[in-house]
Chain A
Amino acid sequence: MASARIIGPAAVPEAASTPRRIEPVAGVPLIFELSSAGRRATDLPPRAPGERRGAEIIGAELCREDLPGFPELSEPQVIRHFLRLSQLNFSQALQFYPLGSCTMKYNPVVNDELAALAGLAQLHPATPAHLAQGALEILARMEAALAEITGMDAVSLHPAAGAQGELTGLLMVRAYHRKRGEARRKVIIPDTSHGTNPASCTLAGFDVIVAKSNRRGYLEAAEVRRLVSDDVAAMMVTNPNTLGIFEPEIQDIAAALHDRGAMLYMDGANMNALLGVAKPGHMGADVVQLNLHKTFSTPHGGGGPGAGPVAVKKHLEPFLPHPRLRRGAAGYEFDPERPDSIGRMRSFHNNFGMIVRAYAYILALGGDGLGMASRLAILGANYLRKRLEPHFPSATGEPSMHECVLSHDLEKRADVSTLEIAKRLLDFGIHPPTIYFPLVVHGALMIEPTETESKEILDSFVDAMERIYAEALNDPERVKNAPQTLPVSRVDEAAAARHPILRWEKKA
């Protein structure tokens, strides 16, 4: 199988068994170091004779003298520089990238072409609505599709990313309670939650109460009943949770919250487990945010841009952020009057370019295809969990959904840490899983293979993990000194934090 060659253990040369002495060499120079005074990549048409320069027109006192340090290069240099940089990266397109909770699935290349269509890419956000009906229709169809997928009543595509979606949702919850004259200052968050959840709570003015998951790794409605009070505005639950477990008591949890007038906020970061499997709306969620760059295949971009739509039940609809799409007499338009709206979270409408891509993905898969995507993602995670079980047992006995969280005994047996295992995986051409998360599992490896990856790829991952396990026992130094086949060896992150160098500076 060709795939075995792509990521198989053969990629690691035998000579790497002892730490290689690599002489310090310059990697890719910084763009500033390639600069040469007077070189340029662009040209503008010449001024008409006698035409005054911009600086003269507005007056020198308003103008800067120079852009000191700014690069001066030719276009071929710029292209070569950035293409060389690109080659220093692992990416989903080139490597298995089972980063847990990040849903690194394939990003269909046609979707990038579609977003770049002139009618979409060159459309100014202030274009009058009657000249932008195609774009508004995409938004309307996308809202409807996400409402159907989540089982919710209304959707806003406004938030720029999942974390902004969380803040949006929490501010809506807050506005809802205020409108009813209730202050409610607390939000319950499970100990397995993503870090964005408590951070969003703080921004939304809520104090956090931590709910403990039980020994089996999920939340009990009894624990929620114990914590909920008239001062609790909502509980944020990620389902499946960060252990990859479907919260079995989610409906009772929703009821426990609703009984006391509190809401269920569902973090939809793990929606890739739920397509056609269970709808958040039916679980009792009042609000859920989605991450289009995860479940709906828009490129992760080295850390964004994403998009974080929020879907809500009817009672929260009046509080959705500005601007809100509506169907007017002459077509789609934005509704200027929504007195209960929490306001806006960003400029203009939304991350339209990402929404186009996600819409194309939904069209391509259709309702059935989305359901199959989740099922195959779940199959992949369970397959890895089962095959890795002998040396990397699951942190929980509960069934896994689209990701599994594993642990290991190498720290005890060989003084080899999870971080070192992760770094060694790089030598096998595999991006490591999310590590040390969730915090409730010691030395966790959080693995999300997604439906993208074939059985051969999963098998070679298992081979690599097994081999690392054996190495850790027989030749721990090899693991501890990884990676050895990448453009750089282990990066000293502690030094970076101790002596922050955050920009290039011209040598005096």
Chain B
Amino acid sequence: MPHTESDIAAMLKTVGAKHLDDLIAHVPANLRASAAINLERGRTEADVVREISALAARNTGASGFASFLGAGYYRHYVPAAVRAVLARAEFATSYTPYQAEASQGTTQAIFEFQTLITQLTAMEVANASMYDGASAAAEAVLMARRMMPRRPIVALSRALWPDYRATIRTYLSALEGIEIVELPFDGATGATDLSALDRIADNRLLCVVTGYPNALGIIEPLGAIAQVTHRAGAVAISATAEGLALGLLRAPGELGVDIAVGEGQSFGLPLQFGGPGVGFMAARLTHIRQMPGRLVGQTRDRDGRRAFCLTLSTREQHIRRERATSNICTNHSLCALAVTVYLSLMGRVGLRELAERNVELAHQAAAVLEAAGIRRRFSGPFFNEFALKLANPSAALEAAERRQILAGVTLGIDYSELSDALLVSVTEMNHGDEFTRLAAAIAEVQ
């Protein structure tokens, strides 16, 4: 704080007070009397660094392990250029670009983000970002409800990420006239059971939310799901936790999806113990008025130059208050900037190559495991994550940990029927030697 004692004295004099506490004398005395904050005295910067570094060092799982952890958050290389841009205080310490003339950097970057997301998803419009993939999925369901307010049934694929399903349930919990059903997955392939969807595809169906790839690692037959959904006149929603998959897989928009949401963490954001990531949401232009969140549009300044600004804000809380499409205000703008820089660096060829590399390495890993007698739990196609069928997944995790390997995430925690399954994620951060070590560790206890 910059105030010298003489500054404070001069300022107090101007406002006609003697002491700082005179300025809060109108706050009820009983509140002031008990307001002191009983925390330690302030520390020097060096001390703070020492303290937090010591805490960081106790997170032994952050380094020194070969890691196959994924399940919705993925280990990818973050190019230094992404961090360099994010470190710019001009981006990091500005706020929501209400003053367009003083925010052309932020607004143009958001416009580029919106464009990249529409290209990635093959949709027509994308917003400026949501908090994360799960809340974006919940907002997509709410958006679908605005599109067809009278339909009650929200169908969630059971193979949609458990966190996403749980978040959708919370967001819908206060709304009346909604019924959530879960679509089972095929126990053999790991894909959403199309016949179950077929049975509920009627004029009561509001929307269907499918993971793409799903929480079991499987690349869903999204086109077929969208087709059945549309036959019922309902809204097809895809949710992608591993954004990189969209660099290779057919785009949700190509497959008939109406709202494509997902998590952008794979695109240049550190794992950071699960947040902040960034949600994205893309849709068809016809539904733009029902979309939640900020949108940046292109326009002109008084001198005819191209300029950008927040637009269509009559959908939003600060204008429409209780009739807004969402309560979202602050979103994850800086994380969206990371995604924009990352995708610009990877580019048209690089992103696809990286996605292919992930497929190649994951399939190499699956082959090495299979050679050691460890089989996949599901037969469906996968991107960079797959489930293993194990007699005792917990024992496998422990055996692997002894060998400095984080082998994956047990699916039994969220799926009682999958107590035999371990979800393994493989990215460009893994290499062949780790696959052999993983196979050896698991084989030891199976």
B374 adjacent to chain A (CB < 8 Å):
no
Known A350-B275, A453-B2: A30·B61 in contact at CB below 8 Å: no
Interface stretch, picked from B42-50, B199-207, B227-235, B434-442, is B42-50
A328 adjacent to chain B (CB < 8 Å):
no
Cβ < 8 Å to B, chain A residues 184-204: 194-196, 198-204
B15 adjacent to chain A (CB < 8 Å):
yes
Instruction: Report whether B354 and A44 are in contact in the complex, using a CB–CB cutoff of 8 Å.
Output: yes
Instruction: Report whether B97 and A347 are in contact in the complex, using a CB–CB cutoff of 8 Å.
Output: no
Instruction: Report whether A305 and B334 are in contact in the complex, using a CB–CB cutoff of 8 Å.
Output: yes
A490 to B62 alpha-carbon distance, docked (Å):
49
Instruction: Report whether B344 and A304 are in contact in the complex, using a CB–CB cutoff of 8 Å.
Output: no
Known A79-B81, A125-B73, A431-B99: A198·B322 in contact at CB below 8 Å: yes
Instruction: Report whether A387 and B41 are in contact in the complex, using a CB–CB cutoff of 8 Å.
Output: no
B6 → chain A, closest Cβ, in Å?
9
A182 to B353 alpha-carbon distance, docked (Å):
57
Cβ < 8 Å to B, chain A residues 472-508: 481, 483, 486-493, 495-497, 500-504
Cβ < 8 Å to B, chain A residues 137-170: 137-138, 145, 148-149, 151, 160-164, 166-167
Instruction: Report whether B301 and A88 are in contact in the complex, using a CB–CB cutoff of 8 Å.
Output: no
A453 CB contacts on chain B under 8 angstroms: 2
A360's contact among B52, B112, B297, by CB below 8 Å, is which? B52
Known A40-B347, A53-B360, A92-B93: A343·B104 in contact at CB below 8 Å: no
A329 adjacent to chain B (CB < 8 Å):
no
A75 adjacent to chain B (CB < 8 Å):
yes
B32's contact among A196, A277, A380, by CB below 8 Å, is which? A277
Instruction: Report whether A283 and B26 are in contact in the complex, using a CB–CB cutoff of 8 Å.
Output: no
A201 to B174 alpha-carbon distance, docked (Å):
10
Cβ < 8 Å to A, chain B residues 7-49: 7-8, 10-12, 14-17, 20-21, 23-24, 26-28, 30-32, 34-45, 47-49
B274 → chain A, closest Cβ, in Å?
3
A343's contact among B45, B166, B277, by CB below 8 Å, is which? B166
Interface stretch, picked from A94-102, A255-263, A409-417, is A94-102
**CB-defined interface of A71-103 with B at 8 Å, one 1/0 digit per residue?**
111010011011101111111111001010010
**CB-defined interface of A402-436 with B at 8 Å, one 1/0 digit per residue?**
00000000000000000000110010000110100
B286 adjacent to chain A (CB < 8 Å):
no
A394 → chain B, closest Cβ, in Å?
12
**CB-defined interface of B266-289 with A at 8 Å, one 1/0 digit per residue?**
000011111111100000000010
B192 CB contacts on chain A under 8 angstroms: none
Known A32-B115, A54-B359, A277-B24: A94·B89 in contact at CB below 8 Å: yes
B311's contact among A283, A370, A378, A496, by CB below 8 Å, is which? A496
B167 CB contacts on chain A under 8 angstroms: 343-347
A134's contact among B56, B106, B131, by CB below 8 Å, is which? B56
Known A27-B305, A196-B327: A161·B131 in contact at CB below 8 Å: yes
How many Cβ-Cβ contacts under 8 Å join chain A to chain B?
Answer: 710
B388 CB contacts on chain A under 8 angstroms: none
Instruction: Report whether A124 and B345 are in contact in the complex, using a CB–CB cutoff of 8 Å.
Output: no
A352 CB contacts on chain B under 8 angstroms: 272-276
Instruction: Report whether B119 and A495 are in contact in the complex, using a CB–CB cutoff of 8 Å.
Output: no
Instruction: Report whether B288 and A99 are in contact in the complex, using a CB–CB cutoff of 8 Å.
Output: no
**CB-defined interface of B134-176 with A at 8 Å, one 1/0 digit per residue?**
1100000010000000000000000001011011011101111
Instruction: Report whether A89 and B91 are in contact in the complex, using a CB–CB cutoff of 8 Å.
Output: yes
B239 → chain A, closest Cβ, in Å?
11
A15 adjacent to chain B (CB < 8 Å):
no
Number of interface residues of A (CB under 8 A): 208
**CB-defined interface of B242-277 with A at 8 Å, one 1/0 digit per residue?**
000001111100100000000100000011111111
B290 adjacent to chain A (CB < 8 Å):
no
A24 to B360 alpha-carbon distance, docked (Å):
50
Number of interface residues of B (CB under 8 A): 207
A382 CB contacts on chain B under 8 angstroms: 15, 17, 23
Which residue, B49, B60, B69, B348, has most C-beta atoms of chain A within 10 A? B348
Cβ < 8 Å to A, chain B residues 47-77: 47-49, 51-63, 65, 67, 69-73, 75
Instruction: Report whether B84 and A79 are in contact in the complex, using a CB–CB cutoff of 8 Å.
Output: yes
A293's contact among B317, B326, B330, by CB below 8 Å, is which? B330
Which residue, B37, B276, B278, B313, has most C-beta atoms of chain A within 10 A? B37
B210 adjacent to chain A (CB < 8 Å):
no
B61's contact among A75, A97, A127, by CB below 8 Å, is which? A127
A455 adjacent to chain B (CB < 8 Å):
yes
Instruction: Report whether B114 and A502 are in contact in the complex, using a CB–CB cutoff of 8 Å.
Output: yes
B323 adjacent to chain A (CB < 8 Å):
yes
Instruction: Report whether B176 and A205 are in contact in the complex, using a CB–CB cutoff of 8 Å.
Output: yes
**CB-defined interface of B72-111 with A at 8 Å, one 1/0 digit per residue?**
1101000101011101111111111111111111101111
A55 → chain B, closest Cβ, in Å?
6
Instruction: Report whether A375 and B61 are in contact in the complex, using a CB–CB cutoff of 8 Å.
Output: no
A123 adjacent to chain B (CB < 8 Å):
yes
B446 adjacent to chain A (CB < 8 Å):
no
Known A302-B97, A372-B1: A383·B15 in contact at CB below 8 Å: yes
A109 to B383 alpha-carbon distance, docked (Å):
39
A254 to B249 alpha-carbon distance, docked (Å):
55
Instruction: Report whether A347 and B134 are in contact in the complex, using a CB–CB cutoff of 8 Å.
Output: yes
Known A41-B345, A347-B161: A132·B73 in contact at CB below 8 Å: no
Which residue, B26, B35, B57, has most C-beta atoms of chain A within 10 A? B35
A52 adjacent to chain B (CB < 8 Å):
yes
Cβ < 8 Å to B, chain A residues 376-405: 376, 378-380, 382-383, 385-387, 398-399, 401
B85 CB contacts on chain A under 8 angstroms: 79, 82-83, 86
Instruction: Report whether A163 and B317 are in contact in the complex, using a CB–CB cutoff of 8 Å.
Output: yes
Known A162-B329, A306-B330: A70·B348 in contact at CB below 8 Å: yes
Instruction: Report whether A376 and B1 are in contact in the complex, using a CB–CB cutoff of 8 Å.
Output: yes
B295 adjacent to chain A (CB < 8 Å):
yes
B187 adjacent to chain A (CB < 8 Å):
no
Cβ < 8 Å to B, chain A residues 7-39: 21-28, 30-32, 35, 38-39
A117 to B270 alpha-carbon distance, docked (Å):
11
Instruction: Report whether A199 and B345 are in contact in the complex, using a CB–CB cutoff of 8 Å.
Output: no
Instruction: Report whether B170 and A303 are in contact in the complex, using a CB–CB cutoff of 8 Å.
Output: no
A51 CB contacts on chain B under 8 angstroms: 360
Cβ < 8 Å to B, chain A residues 256-283: 274-279, 282-283
List of 6 A-B pairs having minimum Cβ-Cβ separation, nearest first: A131-B61, A348-B274, A125-B274, A54-B356, A301-B334, A119-B56
Known: A302-B106, A502-B111. 20 other contacts (CB 8 A): A28-B108, A58-B359, A125-B274, A127-B406, A131-B401, A132-B273, A145-B39, A151-B34, A196-B327, A279-B35, A306-B330, A346-B131, A347-B241, A376-B20, A387-B14, A434-B98, A452-B1, A454-B3, A502-B297, A503-B111
CB pairs A–B below 8 angstroms (13 shown) = A40-B347, A78-B341, A88-B108, A108-B45, A119-B59, A120-B272, A123-B62, A127-B69, A171-B173, A300-B94, A346-B134, A346-B167, A503-B125
